């Protein structure tokens, strides 16, 4: 084989949009309906890696206010949803941070913001279903048996083809209510 004819594969860019984003340059804010398309794109791009549930754009347009997003300028580089499962239990759902903004605390800040919101909204427990329980353990969540979160099983798991075989860990954080202001 003529080595001159062998061309190296083109390098795959880490991202099509961004250079490395410093965490301090990212701001967290409540998501707006106008962010739904970018949130959708971010989730869709990390479905496999994050074992994320696919989300439809129409659903995200409705539920955008439940999300907190990390933004760098006008780009959404991370997001997570506070999804109520019952009056007392909420779930961290669709947590994702763009690769170029990772390892700098943005994911942790997103979850901490959902914890704050969940407390304010009066939830007793916040849960997540994840293949990466270590990330949540660092924030104070505990790994629990799935049946400790029957709300999740009723809402999502029972109708799922991977019920009992999904390999996800249930993690839960017990929330302390915010003291009422005098």
Ligand X SMILES: CC(C)(COP(=O)(O)OP(=O)(O)OC[C@H]1O[C@@H](n2cnc3c(N)ncnc32)[C@H](O)[C@@H]1OP(=O)(O)O)[C@@H](O)C(=O)NCCC(=O)NCCS
Chain residues binding ligand X by CB under 6 A are 46, 49-50, 52, 95-97, 102-108, 128, 130, 132, 134-135
Q: Which token pair is 142? A: 């505990």
- How far is the CA of 51 from the CAs of 56, 70, 77, 162, 166, in angstroms? 16, 20, 18, 12, 9
Nearest residue (CB) to ligand X, 84 versus 132? 132
Residue 92 CB, shortest distance to ligand X, in Å, is: 7
Whichever of 68 and 95 has its CB closer to ligand X, that residue is 95
107 is written with which tokens?
């994911």
Shortest reach from residue 129's CB to ligand X, in Å: 7
What phi and psi, each to the nearest 5 degrees, are found at residue 52? -85, 150
Choose among 43, 51, 31: nearest CA to 129.
51
**Minimum distance from CB of 3 to ligand X (Å)?**
38
Q: Which is nearer to ligand X, 39 or 106 (CB)?
A: 106
> Least distance from C-beta 182 to ligand X, angstroms?
35
């Amino acid at each position: 084989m003529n080595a001159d004819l062998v061309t190296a594969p083109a390098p795959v860019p880490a991202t099509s949009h961004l250079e490395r984003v410093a965490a301090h340059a990212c701001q967290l804010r409540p998501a707006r309906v106008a962010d739904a398309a970018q949130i959708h794109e971010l989730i869709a791009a990390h479905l496999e890696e994050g074992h994320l549930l696919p989300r439809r754009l129409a659903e995200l347009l409705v539920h955008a206010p439940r999300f907190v997003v990390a933004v760098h300028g006008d780009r959404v580089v991370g997001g997570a949803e506070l999804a109520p499962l019952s009056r007392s239990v909420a779930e961290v759902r669709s947590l994702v941070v763009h690769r170029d903004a990772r390892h700098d605390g943005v994911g942790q800040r997103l979850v901490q913001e959902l914890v704050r919101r969940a407390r304010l909204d009066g939830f007793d427990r916040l849960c997540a279903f994840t293949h990466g329980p270590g990330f949540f353990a660092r924030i104070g969540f505990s790994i629990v048996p799935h049946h400790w979160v029957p709300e999740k099983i009723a809402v999502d798991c029972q109708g799922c083809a991977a019920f009992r075989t999904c390999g996800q860990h249930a993690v839960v954080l017990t929330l302390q209510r915010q003291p009422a202001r005098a």
